[in-house]
Amino acid sequence: MSLARAPNATTDAFGRPAARAAAIPTRDLLAGLTVALVAIPQCVGFATIAGLPPASGLITAVIMGLVSAALSESPRLVIGPVITASTMMLGVLRTVAPDEPRAWPGLAGALAVLVGLLTVAGAVIGIGRLVRFVSRSVIVGLIVGSVMLTIGSQLAPVLGLPAGREPMLVGMLWNALRHLSDTDLVSLAMAAGVFALVLIGGRLDARFPVALVALALSGLATWLLGSLTDRPPLPTIGALHWRWTDDWLLALTGDFNTTDLLAGAAAISLVGMIQNLAIGKALALRSQGGFDPRRELWSLGIANVAAGAAGGFAGSASFARSALADVAGARTRLSSLIAAAATGLVALVATPLTRYITTPAIGGLLMATTMTMIDWSELRALLRDVHDRPVLLTMVVCVLVLPIHWAILIGLAVSFIVLLRRVSRIHIFEMVRSAEGPFREQDMDEQTGCTAVTMIQLEGPLFFAHADLLAARLRQIFQRGPRVTILRMRRTQQIDFSILATVRAPVADYLAAGGHLIICGLTPKMRAVLLNSPLGEIIGPDFLLETTREVFGSAHVALGLAQCILSVNPAPQRPDFRTQQAARL
């Protein structure tokens, strides 16, 4: 008899409850529509940040959303225009073609194609495994820098001032400051109203399309101002021109600064990969699902190429829209497909109304959106950390005086330098006995090595950068004349040949002078490495002790072996082992 269950009125073909089976597409439908309503004003705003036509933001959202829905495996990951890529795009465009804003849409498309190709190359070489080495301070510095650059770029439209073409934040601030007396109070009031509404409304319900409502109210205010007053109209974003363009092909062959173009593409690609993988992994952990970094990078790269070819610009995973998809109940990639299609359809229907959306309103929306991106408690914690603070401050200062893509590359370089400095430090302690009996760690001092038996603990992987320092420390200890030196390596899982070769000389001198060296806490793999090394040959297998299942088990064996050595030839007028009380003396 077959155990298969025939579908009936209450189950589907897979034996699931029919109500539950029907609820999944419904959730995806609602989640996709919710994301689309929020995406439309955001994507228009992000295109404005980059100095591009508003329609290019919508084209990017639709194309990248459709490609992602087909290729990605993450059900809640929403990719498209994001503030980080847009602010970096603005810096690149103002650097590459500061006096040719008409060429910006084509250059933006070319950048998107380059970014996509670099991202695909990153997926091929497995760069996703290296993203974990990017410190949190770089990510937070990127967010803070993007917020600063966004606010700076929107000061002119918010104040009703003529917009400049300065690529650096300091130039944007100076442009606003020297025209401050010409501030238009109506523009400022409209921007402030949208800013307050988005900030307050966003705290009520993340699923509520407060950004769309704020722009709709600002459009109503623009219509009333035009109908009831004779003042000049506020500048608007203009009509949305939906057309395919191949200007990016011309941009690739134009006479532009290719160095900045390639550097900008590399920076945008790297940041996009980091952002995409970080958000995707966080969503996967939240839902306890799987995550394939290579697959997600392939999806992102192809989506960027497609967006650039269609007249859009580079994008990545969106913090806000991905979180919104999660809150709104997205369960499959169908939600991304619905969001992309709905974004295009709603924007097409609403095209005649865009003449009422003013640039001050967009500026207020973007300022409010960016302010919510900063985690202030995390920022304060990073500023208190001695290792992360230099990286964060370097990026913030660089954003002031350099294009943001160079600031990010410099921040990554500083982060790498800080990492090298930290990993190049050797962690070495002396083990002493406490009054209760167990061992305790303490920093080495001038008394380390003055007892008959001295125990030293090494921690972390040992590689060539540690070789000279470790040899110098051991030689310093050996010169104080301990009869037996015990190296505990329970917390050391890796040692390279440079260490073994460099340490051999001081150890050989110590053994020739009558000392004994015991290495304990070794894993079987580590012991095999030492046995087959020049260092292991002069120490001998009897003095290379494997770890045991007991806490400090191999350390006690090493101490017993040391006592046997001392019993044969005692060391007068020397304490056998250092205690915590002696350490304080």
C-alpha 415/C-alpha 580 separation (Å) is: 38
Residue 14 has pLDDT above 60, yes or no: no
| Range of weakest confidence among 282-296, 328-342, 404-418, 539-553 | 282-296
First-to-last C-alpha distance (Å) of the chain: 84
Residue 252 has pLDDT above 90, yes or no: no
pLDDT band at 2 (very low <50, low <70, confident <90, very high): very low
Q: How far is CA 227 from CA 190, 217, 232, in A?
A: 16, 15, 11
Interval 140-164 mean pLDDT: 80
User: What is the pLDDT at residue 6?
Assistant: 43
| Domains of the chain with CATH codes | 26-420 (no CATH), 427-584 (3.30.750.24)
- Bridging pattern class, strands 316-317 and 439-442: unpaired
- pLDDT, mean over the chain: 81
Look up residue 541 and give its DSSP letter: G
User: What is the pLDDT at residue 250?
Assistant: 58
Residue 583 has pLDDT above 50, yes or no: no
pLDDT: is 461 or 4 the higher one?
Answer: 461
Contact 578, 451 (CB under 8 A): yes
Residue 341 has pLDDT above 70, yes or no: yes
Tens-digit pLDDT profile for residues 221-230? 988 888 888 8
Handedness of CA 307, 308, 309, 311 (dihedral sign): positive
User: What is the pLDDT at residue 570?
Assistant: 66
Q: pLDDT > 70: what percent of the chain?
A: 84
Residue 207 has pLDDT above 80, yes or no: no
Residue indicated by tokens 């933001």: 57
What DSSP element (H or E) covers 189? helix 185-202
Highest mean pLDDT among 40-49, 440-449, 556-565: 556-565
Angle separating helix axes 54-71 and 104-125, nearest 10 degrees: 20
Interval 194-209 mean pLDDT: 77
Residues 6+ apart with CB under 8 A from 503: 467, 470, 471, 474, 535
Q: How many residues does the chain have?
A: 585
User: What is the pLDDT at residue 21?
Assistant: 42
Interval 29-42 mean pLDDT: 78
Highest mean pLDDT among 196-200, 364-368, 374-378: 196-200
Cut 0.75: pTM above it? no
User: What is the pLDDT at residue 335?
Assistant: 87
Highest mean pLDDT among 39-48, 220-229, 326-335, 471-480: 471-480
User: What is the pLDDT at residue 225?
Assistant: 86
pLDDT band at 362 (very low <50, low <70, confident <90, very high): confident
User: What is the pLDDT at residue 79?
Assistant: 92
C-alpha 170/C-alpha 178 separation (Å) is: 12
State CA 455 to chain mean position distance.
41
Tens-digit pLDDT profile for residues 46-96? 888 888 888 889 999 999 999 999 998 888 888 999 877 888 888 888 888
